[in-house]
Amino acid sequence: MTTHVSSSDLAHLVILAGGAQDELSKYEGAGLNEGIRAAIARKRLKAEEEAAEQAAERILMILQSTDKEMAASVQRLRDIRRRETAELNNIKKLELAKIYALDTSNFIPLVVALNGGLNFSSEEYRKLSVIPEGWQPKLVEVAAT
């Protein structure tokens, strides 16, 4: 997310931060008569107030944009973590189904896991498509893929 900052806005922010002088400040010490110097000082004060108002508006917009971007980043991170959890669960499910298939020669639960579930009309197929609760493999080690 980007926040547009015009060159005028940037100049106001730089002045506000004390990083530069405005145009009028370079004439304050010039050899001008008192009336002109006073007018320049008033004009400079008015310009500073306007710059401060504009900078304040821009700063509020920048801070609001920052808050929105941070919230969006947090939400994207939560989404990534949710997807990561789902993928890890899928890996565990596939791994268990693969070990079950290799250990029992029943590949139906693995096919079901790969296809996100299948609709079996027969009760016998439905029973075969589920890894029994508490099942433990007889094989000690299965080669990793």
The DSSP-derived string for 103-144 is: HHS--HHHHHHHHT----SSHHHHHHTSPPTT---S-S----
Q: 0.75 cut: is pTM over it?
A: no
List pLDDT tens digits, range 55-105: 889 899 999 999 999 999 999 999 999 999 999 999 999 999 999 999 999
Distance CA 133, CA 65 (A): 51
Share of the chain above pLDDT 70, in %: 76
Distance CA 117, CA 32 (A): 88
Both tokens of 39, joined, read: 């007018």
List pLDDT tens digits, range 31-45: 678 888 788 888 888
**Tokens 């008033």 found at:** 42
